[in-house]
Structure 1
Amino acid sequence: MKLPKPRKRGESYRIELMFNGTRISATRDTEKECEQWAMLKLLELKTNQHLKEDIKQHYPFSALMSKYYEEVGKSLKSKRFIKISINQFIKTYPILAETSIHDITPQILTDWRNSRLKKVSSASVLRDISLFSAIFSYAQKELFLIDKNPFSLVSKPSQPKARNRRISEEEIALILDAHDYQIGQVPSKQEHFIAWVFLFAIETTMRQGEILSIKRSDIYEDYIHLPMTKNGDARDVPLLDSAKELLKLIPNNGSEKLLDISSTTFQNMFGNRIRKIGLTDFHFHDTRHEGITRMVRKRKIPVEMLAKITGHKTIGILINTYYNPTATEISKMLNESN
């Protein structure tokens, strides 16, 4: 900034400065003294301005997470996951949770990532990073609290290999027995309905949440209409005869919803039974792998049509992640085509 020239006022000199819209002046005996005062005053004003800019309000990460959930998260389909992840973070990392977002650096987050990787799988860490990065982006682009997202400089762990877990007939029998249920039985207890959902998932390749959200008005003779799915689009799920037979078992209690089970209750009960019978490396979502593979093996459904059934927009993900035939099954299919 160019200094203004001092002006003579009687036997002395006067100099005026403008800083951020404010006029500041001083009177000295000589021009040189005026210029020295002006240089020192400008340095002082600029230093104080920078100090004020650097002093930012303490804003705990936990407060930002709570605001994100209230303003954004609870309106998303993944709200349950978001709520659980936030609560788990605050409980497990209380010091980091109470650290101001202005003080959280990429190095701090990298240390957190490494600590987290010692406790959970890389897939879980990737989900956490995706959520918490979205929260920081919200602070940056919607609240204008920070200039940069610190996660932008944090390396993500490698993607885990796609699961290829199949479900054997022996495991199906164990799961049904654990829920005191037999194929063809009309469900009467909550554990029966959970077993029924397990069987229906294999026959339709539908996700757990999709089955629990079915409304009777969306059930048609040959398909079930899903108004909203994981990828944000509606989907019609064709029904095999085996799936139609399962639907006939559900009594009509006058409710619009086909099943009166919450997602939390389902996951807790199903998970507890799976652990009790000692099934290792087993997820309910494996029913989707099994159902898709069976459709190709038994029904000879081409992959383009299969994608319509499952709702996959990317054929590569469907083939590489969900269609998991064994080498023996592929050999039999090749020989049957001769």
Structure 2
Amino acid sequence: MSEATSKPENRDPATGRTLPKGIYYRAPKQYQARKQIDGKRVIKTFESAAIAKRWINEKSAEAELGLFRDTSPLDKHTVESLVSRFRDDNMQNRTTDRIGHVPAILRDEIAQTRLSKLNSGDVRKFRDRMLESGLAPSTCVKRLNLLASIIQHAISEWDIPLTQNPASGRIVKRPAGADKKRNRRLNDVNAEKSEYNRLIECMADSVCLDDIWLVKWSIEQACRRGESLSLRWCDIDLDGKTISLARTKNEKHREEHGPEKRPLMPGARRLLIEKLASYEHEPKPTDKIFNVGTEDAFSVRYGRYVKKAGLKDLTFHDLRHEATSRLAKIFTNPLDLCRVTGHRDLKSLDRYYQPILEDLANFAEEQEKILRIAYKEE
């Protein structure tokens, strides 16, 4: 094709008339609009010359008012391309079943929205579709927050020229009821047949011998399930009374936060010493501490024995709540408690701390008696 025939024409074949300045005919239903703004040429193609002319007039007005924003770089990206890139760059160390809510976002129609068109209305529709499908408010919030984090990451790290984050919580309201705390604790801890005793008795009947060790450990140390299952004996320093989680974290986490160590709680330390004594042969440093199989297999067994014990609505993650609330009585400084449990901030810790209200009332009563005695002495 010659250079002369490859250039856009400035005459409309449909009418035979000369096209307005800045508009060129390329092919049927392809009218190219060109506008020079601040020394930069902005180009966009439309289905008709009338729409192209209207676009040029709008850009001219925006330029005069200082409101012009070149969206052509955003036309090249969709929400899907951002989410997929974030998954590939930041979640490469996760298995397919551990990439969270990314697949759900990619399945939704918002994934096909171009960034130049993305606005808060699109995000609100995404939120409403999730709620209408019956998803829990907390799940909707997690997906909205993930989308907001991905967009913010693209703005700050990939130089995506968005002026604001349309998925931000300051712009799109989150569903009500998502922040409801879960307050399940092991009740009647002082009773002979407390929920703790019933749970331990049933877990002792498990076909996997390490199930009961894992349950006891979780109540003593407040580790997450994934952290506990990845621990090996070389990660434990019984003499130094510390746990190293450096190996269990991915490389990016180690670069950002450094090797993570936590203090080993007395009850958890006694538990490990007891477990070591139960071996016929000393385990290798690389051996796993808790050999319970996969997380899914353990979850199935745990649910079965919890039901057998007659315990209602007690998830394995509730044991982390239980441990955190127990340890809070030892560590009165919440920052110290965060170092034990691994919570990143006090807001996250607050969701796990579920004190027994009667204990707080009794403690206040005891402290009041001490103060009254002190006042009388003065």
Q: Under a length normalisation based on structure 2, what TM-score does the superposition of the two structures give?
A: 0.60
Say yes or no: does 1:310 pair with 2:341.
Answer: yes
Say yes or no: does 1:162 pair with 2:193.
Answer: no
Per-residue Cα deviation, 1:241-269 (whole angstroms, up to 9, x for no partner): 46413542254543613234444544454
**Alignment identity in percent?**
20
Aligned-partner residue type, residue 195 of structure 2: E
Aligned to 2:56: none
C-alpha spacing 1:327/1:129, structure 2 compared with 1 (3 Å): same
Gaps of 5+ in 2: 1-6, 10-17, 26-31, 35-42, 47-70, 371-378
Aligned to 1:171: 195
Could you tell which deviates more after superposition, 236-245 or 267-276? 267-276
Equivalenced residue count is: 291
Could you tell which deviates more after superposition, 56-65 or 300-309? 56-65
Aligned to 2:45: 51
Say yes or no: does 1:150 pair with 2:166.
Answer: yes
CA distance in structure 2 between the aligned counterparts of 1:138 and 1:165, rounded to whole angstroms: 35
The residue correspondences of 1:230-249 to structure 2 (distance < 5 A) are 232=257, 234-241=260-267, 243-249=269-275
Select the structure that is richer in helix. Answer: 1
Aligned to 1:197: 214
Aligned to 2:123: 109
SS of the residue corresponding to residue 324 of structure 1 reads coil
C-alpha spacing 1:131/1:278, structure 2 compared with 1 (3 Å): farther
The residue correspondences of 1:31-180 to structure 2 (distance < 5 A) are 40-42=20-22, 44=24, 47-48=33-34, 49-51=43-45, 61-75=79-93, 83-90=99-106, 93=108, 95-98=109-112, 100=114, 103-118=117-132, 119-142=134-157, 147=162, 149-152=165-168, 153-158=171-176, 160-168=179-187, 169=189, 170-180=194-204
Q: Is the 8 A contact 1:82 1:131 kept in 2?
A: no
Q: How much does 1:110 deviate?
A: 0.7
Q: Which has the greater radius of gyration?
A: 1
Gaps of 5+ in 1: 1-21, 25-36, 183-188
Q: Under a length normalisation based on structure 1, what TM-score does the superposition of the two structures give?
A: 0.66
User: Which of residues 316, 322, 346 is equivalent to 1:284?
Assistant: 316
Per-residue Cα deviation, 1:227-252 (whole angstroms, up to 9, x for no partner): 44799462332331464135422545
C-alpha spacing 1:293/1:134, structure 2 compared with 1 (3 Å): closer
Say yes or no: does 1:208 pair with 2:238.
Answer: no
Q: How much does 1:203 deviate?
A: 1.1
Q: How much does 1:287 deviate?
A: 1.8
Q: Is the 8 A contact 2:76 2:114 kept in 1?
A: yes
CA distance in structure 2 between the aligned counterparts of 1:275 and 1:127, rounded to whole angstroms: 29
Q: Is the 8 A contact 1:102 1:146 kept in 2?
A: no
CA distance in structure 1 between the aligned counterparts of 2:297 and 2:325, rounded to whole angstroms: 28
CA distance in structure 2 between the aligned counterparts of 1:278 and 1:116, rounded to whole angstroms: 34
C-alpha spacing 1:259/1:282, structure 2 compared with 1 (3 Å): same
